[in-house]
Amino acid sequence: MNFLDYLYYVIIVICFIVSIGFRNLWKQFFWLYFGITILVELMVTFKVDFITTRIYNYLDLFCICYFGYLYFKEIDHSKTIKLITIISCLGGIFFILISNTNYSIITGFLYSIFLIFISLFWFYMKISNKNREDNILHFGFFWFSSSLLLWAVFYIFRMFPMYIFVKTDIEFSYMLKITFQIITVISYFIFVKGLLCKK
């Protein structure tokens, strides 16, 4: 593991600790999200016998359900969020079942599009709310949405070239990997900011 790998684990553990340490975060089950993410990463890192890269697809499905629930509750039980979550989850399962590889790239893409949609939808709903009195920067979901949006956009740029250039241009593929690691760490730092918000 390199320095960025260690930094990634440190920031995830910090998020996990913060999500447990602040009681107001318990109802949103952030501890569950970070706990499962840490568990998956540890199993992959220590190369547990029965684990393949397919586990990341299962993590994608879990995250779709989790963030779908989170934003569904946040945006007044939005039927739009409920519908897009169900469609994304069913679509993800379908593409996993028909995939010829351990990791279904289409399911990963679908997960990214899902995150982009719910993030932008939250921004739209909050900005269009004429009764909003507080600065949008004071809301935890502003930082959550910014974090998810940043990560999802770069994940798409990382994912497709990863399969195209992994054999033809190893140096470029490595550069994409490092860039994505940096973006992932930055995204989690932004997420920590959201966890520390009072609203």
Express each pLDDT in 177-190 by its tens digit. 888 899 999 999 99
Whole-number average pLDDT of the chain: 88
Dig out the tokens for 38 from the structure: 């840490």
Percent over 70 (pLDDT), the chain? 91
Give how far Cα 38 sits from Cα of 15, 31, 45, Å: 10, 10, 10
Q: Which residue ranges make up each domain of the chain?
A: 60-195
First to last CA, the chain: 37
With vertex at residue 55, the alpha carbon angle to CA 64 and CA 60, rounded to the nearest 5 degrees, is: 15
Give the residue among 86, 155, 71, 60 at the shortest CA–CA distance from 120: 71
CB neighbour list of residue 40: distance below 8 Å, 6 or more residues apart: 55, 56, 59
Express each pLDDT in 75-84 by its tens digit. 988 899 999 9
Type of residue numbered 62 = F
Q: State yes or no: pLDDT of 43 exceeds 80.
A: yes
Between 137 and 195, the more confident residue is: 195
Give the residue among 31, 23, 28, 136 at the shortest CA–CA distance from 74: 28
Cα–Cα distance for residue pair 162/84, rounded to 1 Å: 27
* Span 167-173, average pLDDT: 69
Express each pLDDT in 92-133 by its tens digit. 999 999 988 888 889 999 999 999 999 999 999 888 876 666
* Number of Cβ within a 10 Å radius of residue 17: 12
**Phi/psi at 100 (5° precision):** -90, -5
CB neighbour list of residue 81: distance below 8 Å, 6 or more residues apart: 68, 71, 72, 75, 118, 121
